[in-house]
Structure formats: C-alpha cells, structure tokens
Amino acid sequence: MILGIVGWENSGKTTVFNALTGAAAQTASFSGSSGEANMAVVKVPDPRLDFLADKFKPKKKTHVELKVMDFAPFRKGQGEKGFPAKHIASLRSCDALLFVARGFDDESVPNPEDTVNPARDIESLMLELAFADLEVVERRLSRIDESFSKSSKDERKKLEREKEFLLEVKTALEENGAFAVDGADEERLSIVRNYGLLTLKPIIAAVNVGDDSAGDPAEADRVSSALPAPAPPVIALAGKLEMEIAGLDDSERAEFMSGLGISEPARDRILRLAWDRLGLIVFFTVGDDECRAWAIRRGDNAVTAAEKIHSDIARGFIRAETTAYDDFVAAGGFQGAKDAGRFRLEGKTYIVHDGDILQFRFNV
C-alpha cells in the first residue's frame, strides 16, 4: 500500500515525510515541480504485535509495512496549465493521499500566500486534484464521441451508458470538486475506478503548526470545522519537532515528548488513521520463529488471509484456528482461551476481524 504526501510550496511536507519515516530527505532543496519523489518504507506501529512478541519471544518480529512517497510541491495555478503527466501518474498509483497544509509563521520560510490559512490550502489542493480529474473525464468523453460512429450497436449502448455516467461525474467535479460514489451501482463504480480519479482516493489532512502549538489539538478542530463537508480527517502536528522525535531512540523519545505534552508521535496517529482510511485490518500469526502482522482488506475471508501467507495454504485450506487478540490477552494465552470457550475453528467463509490470531490447518 502506498501513501502519497502532497502539499503547496513551503508547507513543510518533506519535513512531515521525514517525521513519518525517520528519513533524512533534504527539505529546502526539494522544490521542483517535476522532480523525483522521496520514497521510504515505514513499519506500521502496533502495540498488539509488540505484546505478542514479548510473550512468545520469537526469533523475528515482522510489522506490516507501508510505502510513503513525498511528491514535489504543487504550485499555485499549476493545474490550469496541466500537471506534469509523470507527476499525475505517480499520484494515481497511490492508495491514499496525505495533504500537508502550512499552519506556521516563519519569515525564513517564504509563504506563497499572504496569510497562513490551512483550511484554504486544503480546499485549494482538492480543487487542483479536481482539475486533473476533469481533464481525464473530458478526454474520455471526447474519445467516446470520436469512436461512437465506428462502433457496433452493442458497443454503442455500452458507450452511451459510460458517457451518461461520466457526464454526471463531470458535473459533480465542476460543482462540488468531487464525485460521491455512495449509492452508485457496481457497473458505474467499475467505470469510475478505471480512471483512478484522485478525488476518490482516501484523504487525510495534516496541519503543520509551529513548535509553540505542539500537543495542542485545538488547531485540528478549527481547521476541520472550517472545511466544507464531507471534510477529510485533520491532524495537527509540529513538523520540525516530530522530525526530531523520529530521530531519537525509545528512551529519549518518551522523555522528550513528555516535556512537550505530546502523548504519542504524530507518525503513529497518521499511520493508524491511514490504515483505517485504506479499509485495512490486521491479523496475526505467532510462534517461536516469528510473530507477524498481516494486512488484508476489511471484509476479507479466511481463505484470503491464508493466501496472504502462501498460496499453498489457501489451496489446501481446511480450517482456521482463531482467537481474538483481546480474548487471548484476557485469558493469558491459547490454553486459557480454549478453557474459556474463546478458541474457535472457522471455515473458508469466515470473515476475519481486526486483531484475530490465526493458525491455519491445510493439506496439499
């Protein structure tokens, strides 16, 4: 899964990238609109996996990983001229987007706008994405018109349905800046998904505030209330401080955050929220060799979970031995869960829940 970071010039988005990933990407020099993206892979923190590893003492502990891409900054009016094709293609490859909006005053960092207004900047980022999506929709509509007379009767009916729907999408983008998929039937959803519209991707907004606002949740609430509904979730963070926190070891980090009134790193909050917005859940496999977290889509069944580990396990699936994490902790382990009737054997159609500890029986 890929989380793409976007923002206006001098919003501090590369600083936020460093805070999320522990990377040391250059911040001041990353200003070109067509430059290569910064990339890093980050382990998604999960205290449940930490607990299980402490209990089983495995040779290896494996977290779920998320790729984070920090794209070159957007510039005002860029969308009117058309975004670089490479830039847009890369954005479309992302599974979710993190908007970074400037919420700090700093004379040493020029502000493209006269004032600091993160709600305005988040709205304008959405507008730029809508411009890019409109270009895609209009280009497709033009191609439908060009190919209509050359198509068969059945093909024309299909093109007519697609055109009708795309005109609805076009109107929604022009009037609302996004198309709401709620209530759309599967045929229409499959059409719109083919185009990878940026405005349909799960979005999170991070307001990069000054150091004096670190640990204050009020800024996120103010920005969220100023955004038109439906607004993306908003998190406030002090980017420079969070970048420092990411570079500390565990003992130093706890002491440093305590002194600033920060309960947990912004990295953990953002990654957790990104995971939820992506519609993902985690199940665990445990043992002396390895304790591991695995990511699947919410609503996936036991066979899909088995496939995630190895195709042979899915092919020869018999049963999934299942214990919920909370039941495992409350009972003190597998034996206690069995004694309490909280250990189950589930079949192929079982829908995996977040936090399930699974052991698969299979035969190939």
pLDDT given at position 218: 82
75 and 166 co-located in one domain: no
- What φ, ψ does residue 248 adopt, rounded to 5°? -95, 155
38 and 74 co-located in one domain: yes
In a domain, 19, yes or no: yes
213 and 92 co-located in one domain: yes
**Residue 83 reports pLDDT greater than 70:** no
In a domain, 181, yes or no: yes
**Residue 80 reports pLDDT greater than 60:** no
136 and 268 co-located in one domain: no
- The pTM (predicted TM-score) of the whole model is 0.83
In a domain, 124, yes or no: no
pLDDT given at position 105: 85
308 and 357 co-located in one domain: yes
In a domain, 120, yes or no: no
In a domain, 116, yes or no: no
In a domain, 126, yes or no: no
Q: State the residue range of the domain holding 357.
A: 299-362
In a domain, 187, yes or no: yes
pLDDT digits (tens, 9 = 90+) for 12-33: 899 999 999 887 776 664 444 4
pLDDT given at position 33: 46
CATH number at residue 312: 3.10.20.30
224 and 186 co-located in one domain: no
Lowest mean pLDDT among 250-264, 316-330, 336-350: 250-264
20 and 83 co-located in one domain: yes
18 and 143 co-located in one domain: no
**Residue 144 reports pLDDT greater than 60:** yes
104 and 240 co-located in one domain: yes
pLDDT given at position 269: 86
pLDDT given at position 76: 65
CATH number at residue 19: 3.40.50.300
pLDDT given at position 132: 87
342 and 355 co-located in one domain: yes
pLDDT digits (tens, 9 = 90+) for 197-227: 898 889 999 999 987 766 667 888 889 888 8
pLDDT digits (tens, 9 = 90+) for 53-74: 999 999 999 999 999 999 888 7
How many domains in the chain? 3
30 and 65 co-located in one domain: yes
195 and 228 co-located in one domain: no
